[in-house]
Amino acid sequence: MENPAGARAYARADFAAVNQGFVDRFRARFPEFVGGRAVDLGCGPADIPVRLGRALPGLQVTAVDGSAAMLAEARRAIAAAGAAPRIALVRARLPPLPFPPRAFDAILSNSLLHHLPDPLPFWHEVERLARPGAPLLVMDLARPASPAAARALVELHAAVEDPILREDFYRSLLAAFTPEEVRRQLATLSLRLECALVSDRHWVVSGRR
Ligand SMILES: C[S@@+](CC[C@H](N)C(=O)[O-])C[C@H]1O[C@@H](n2cnc3c(N)ncnc32)[C@H](O)[C@@H]1O
């Protein structure tokens, strides 16, 4: 994700169904949230902020990523969508992030957790950044039972994708957490968040600060 070729391959891949699914899930779970300040942690090419911004005209998103190459892709996508006034890009690696406590009305993150060497500081940062009552939606890959099962998922969902992306997907599946591991991570927080397996390769954590 740090090099331009990897970022470009990721930005060109077709994540439309997964990303729109994230947005639809957020809106279905938090129908009263129609605007405010949201942060997207590990925003990548910013497809989710663009889609959520389209659905919620009152939304301002701070989209955070540690990779300059990925943020260059995000900048292009935001400009193409005409969304620049409502999506601010910030280059930062978490944890921690350069924002004060309770800075955001909603916290989003997709496919970041498995990149982090230690997941607990991520969850503590989610807790720190959210104002009381803020909606939280975090999604990531779920680790399959074996490397063979991971290969099968790559074939099923990424057969026609760039080889760089296929290898990244395989390694990401093996680096990911299971829902049971995520529940143990969440038990260290003072928040009551649910973790559910929502597809053959994703779990979702949702709840309120
Ligand atoms: C798999 S991509 C997901 C991108 C986007 N959320 C999506 O759903 O398409 C993971 C992103 O997290 C970023 N990332 C990895 N570790 C990070 C860290 N410690 N802090 C901030 N961003 C990080 C990577 O640069 C990459 O853009």
The atom number, within ligand 1, closest to the CA of 172 reads: 1
Q: Which of 136, 137, 129, 154 is nearest to 204 (CA)?
A: 137
Give the C-alpha distances (Å, rounded to integers) separating 183 from 4, 193, 209: 35, 9, 16
**What separation in Å is there between the alpha carbon of 65 and the centre of ligand 1?**
6
Question: CB-based burial of residue 165 (10 Å sphere; 0-12 exposed, 13-18 middle, 19+ buried)?
Answer: middle
114: CA distance to ligand 1 center in Å?
A: 9
Domains observed in the chain: 4-208 (3.40.50.150)
Protein residue with least CA distance to atom 27, ligand 1: 44
- For tokens 């496919």, name the residue: 111
- Tell me which of 52, 62, 65, 126 to substitute to probe ligand 1's pocket, judged by most ligand atoms within 8 Å of the beta carbon: 65
* Residues with a CB atom less than 6 Å from ligand 1: 1, 15, 42-44, 47-48, 65-67, 70, 93-94, 110-112, 115-116
Q: What is the pTM of this model?
A: 0.95
Local confidence pLDDT in tens for the 209 residues of the chain: 678 988 888 888 888 999 999 999 999 999 999 999 999 999 999 999 999 999 999 999 999 999 999 999 999 999 999 999 999 999 999 989 999 999 999 999 999 999 999 999 999 999 999 999 999 999 999 999 999 999 999 999 999 888 988 999 999 999 999 999 999 999 998 888 999 999 999 999 999 99
Distance between CA atoms of residues 154 and 158, nearest Å? 5
